[in-house]
Structure 1
């Protein structure tokens, strides 16, 4: 399987998604459209992963619109798509739903709560990394998958081939460090009230990898 990853900033890479790909013997190709303007074709894609980034789907940039063209083409062929943060927002924007300011800016570690059991064996509560102040609207045909105390729309599943999460399951310890040291100014104003040191000191729960792998297995089985 060829997994095409769309990365949108140097400090938010595929993390544990790469571990899942290696475990299953899949080929991982990482694109940086914000820098190089390159995107894969739909024909080259067996699984599309759309990562986070500091931009908004509401920004009027050619590569952002081109990403949505790719998403639309993959939806037409029932190709699996996984989106994290900006990536999840891009999916719902492609479907015609608005991206808006969230009720609260969330940056740091906080729990999300499972809202549906359509993907088997996901934990009822999961402590995850948040790094956002915008949110997606849940598509009418989708199922709400996770919510947090501050933001209801934290995850959705659409059919058996699309999952979008507002939060991050993919970062490993070094990825979290990379996000914090490069983007620590963004922490200010978060409702979670955590400092850069607080975020760095928090251990990554084992359940984040387990949950991520179950979601990717669900999309590709």
Structure 2
């Protein structure tokens, strides 16, 4: 399987998604459209598209952001699987005609999410994900609400072979250290409703089950594409 990853900022990489790819013997290529003039993979060369987070908004008037949504629509038309995290999930939602808007609360840090759908087997009722956002997506018409938090209801959606999450299961311990080292000031903002500093985020650590959850989500996407 050819996995193409769209990474939008240096400190938010594929994390355990890369480990999943290696475990299954897949080929993974990481693209950096924000840094390299909007270079994107083709649908023909993509069996699974992963769209990661970033500090930009799908509402920004940039050509490469619009071109990403064109790629998403082409992937959907080809019935190929897509996984989106944070900004990536927002991009999928916007491509499907849903709005991306300011969330009712800025969430930066670890917080419990509640499962709202039984569509994906093997997920626990509650999980703890890493949140790093102040915008949110509306749930697209074709999608089902997958996860929620007390502060922001729309935390995830699923339909067919597409999953979008407003938060992150993919970061491993080194990835979290990288995020805090480079973007810890984002957590220090008094508007952060989770009231966690960078040191709080590091001290919490990555929940041991998060890698398994990430693998479960990706396994589901592959199975649904068969």
Provide the TM-score with structure 1 as the length reference: 0.98
Partner of 2:8: 8
Partner of 1:206: 208
Offset of residue 57 of structure 1: 0.1
Find the aligned partners of 1:216 and 1:186 in 2 and give their Cα distance: 29
> Deviation string for 1:113-158 (max 9, x for gaps)?
0001100010101111000000001012211000001000000001
Q: Could you say what secondary structure the match of 2:34 adopts?
A: helix
Aligned partner of 1:194 among 196, 206, 221: 196
Partner of 2:25: 25
Partner of 1:70: 71
Find the aligned partners of 1:71 and 1:135 in 2 and give their Cα distance: 18
Aligned residue runs from structure 1 range 109-128, under 5 A: 109-128=110-129
Offset of residue 85 of structure 1: 0.1
Q: Could you say what secondary structure the match of 2:84 adopts?
A: strand
Unmatched runs of 5 consecutive residues or more in structure 2: none
Aligned residue runs from structure 1 range 153-164, under 5 A: 153-159=154-160, 161-164=161-164
Find the aligned partners of 2:162 and 2:207 in 1 and give their Cα distance: 24
Find the aligned partners of 1:125 and 1:211 in 2 and give their Cα distance: 11
Provide the TM-score with structure 2 as the length reference: 0.96
Partner of 1:106: 107
Corresponding position: 1:144 with 2:145: yes
Partner of 1:41: 42
Q: Could you say what secondary structure the match of 1:134 adopts?
A: strand
Find the aligned partners of 1:73 and 1:14 in 2 and give their Cα distance: 22
Offset of residue 195 of structure 1: 1.0
Q: Could you say what secondary structure the match of 1:11 adopts?
A: coil
Give 4+ residue runs of structure 1 displaced > 6 Å after superposition: none
> Deviation string for 1:39-78 (max 9, x for gaps)?
0001010000000000000000011001001000000010
